[in-house]
Amino acid sequence: MTEKQTPARVAVVTGGSRGIGFASARLLAADGHAVVICSRNQGESDTAAKEIIADGGTAMGVHGDVSDEASVGALFDTAEAAYGGVDVVVHAAAHAGLGRTSTVADLDLNVLDELYRTNIRGTFMVAQQAARRVRDGGAIVTFSSAVVALSMPGYASYSASKGAVEALTLILARELGTRDITVNAVAPGPTATELFLEGKDDRTLSELAARAPVGRLGTPEEIAEVVAFLARPAGHWINGQVLQVNGGVL
């Protein structure tokens, strides 16, 4: 890529090969970002990048594991080498612990350790690299979950991991404020992603959909619209917030 072709803005999207991450990557590319899609599956990240390129965007797929420090550093190295810098980081990769419910009394602590490694330690490592590398005026978006605010029995371990993400997000927003970098968390409600639908019967899905006044699940595209807005100049006055994007789920 020649200097003349270097994109004005560059976005790194973890978990960007499918679901909310991929929907966010597509919108960011449509807004003119060169998008670096990170997935633990190189084939999936490459396929996602090819789809964006076919739509006229600029993208590349990268293999990465957000729970591994060297892998996270290499992700940002790759983005900088390919496109000259990083302006937006969307950390959509997370442990799929939402489907594994347990009371606090009965929790298998191995589950807690898995959640910690990906949702807390992994988010912290991505946030750390973002804090070091995102150019002034950029944006960082993390992902929490509606279950934190709902305080639902059985979700203590997952909610605790996402509550840590919220705390990290709000503090990082204050630490990076002098560089005009915004940091926000998006907290989706029940959303019809492949991962969310997996293993749930029709009755369960109907019950979850009924929790929202509109009576349906959200879509990845609806969540992605909020992510893309936070990365745009129009969304730059929103900072240090946890945005509940849940259709009014109760």
Q: Render pLDDT for 71-107 as a digit per residue (tens, 0 to 9).
A: 999 999 999 999 999 999 999 997 665 667 899 999 9
Q: What pLDDT does 195 receive?
A: 77
Region 209-235: what's the mean pLDDT?
Answer: 94
The whole-number average pLDDT for the span 15-30 is 96
Identify the band that residue 3 occupies on the pLDDT scale cut at 50, 70 and 90. Answer: very low
Quote the Cα angle for 65-67-165, to 5°.
120
**pLDDT confidence tier of residue 198, bands split at 50, 70 and 90:** confident
Q: How many Å apart are CA 40 and CA 42, to the nearest integer?
A: 6
Q: Which residue reads 């988010």 in tokens?
A: 123
* Stated pTM of the model: 0.93
* Nearest residue to 90 (alpha-carbon basis) of 141, 44, 42: 141
User: Residue 4's pLDDT is what?
Assistant: 40
User: What is the arithmetic mean of pLDDT over 149-161?
Assistant: 92
Question: How many Å is the maximal CA-CA distance in the chain?
Answer: 60
> What is d(CA 18, CA 92) in angstroms, rounded to the nearest whole number?
10
**49 closest CA partner among 69, 67, 29:** 29
Residue 222: partners with Cβ closer than 8 Å, 6 or more residues away: 191, 245
- Please determine, for residue 212, whether its predicted confidence score (pLDDT) is greater than 50: yes
Tell me: pLDDT of 18 over 60. Answer: yes
Structure tokens, 143: 């992902």
Quick one: pLDDT at residue 200? 81
Q: Band of the pLDDT at 39, cuts 50, 70, 90?
A: very high
Q: Which of 83, 116, 155, 158 does the annotation list as catalytic?
A: 158
Task: Look at residue 45 and tell me whether its pLDDT is greater than 50.
Answer: yes
Give Cβ neighbours of residue 229 (< 8 Å, ≥ 6 apart). Answer: 235
Which fold, 3-245? Rossmann fold (3.40.50)
83 annotated active-site = no
CA 23 to chain centre: 11
Buried residues in 145-154 as b, exposed as e (16+ CB within 10 A): bbbbbbeeee
Distance CA 228, CA 53 (A): 18
Interatomic CA distance for residues 219 and 13, integer angstroms: 18
Q: Quote the DSSP letter at residue 4.
A: G
Question: What integer pLDDT is reported at residue 98 of this predicted model?
Answer: 60
Cα separation, 30 vs 53, in Å, equals 10
Quick check: 207 pLDDT over 90? Answer: no
So what's the pLDDT on residue 96? 60
In the predicted model, what is the mean pLDDT of residues 129-138? 98
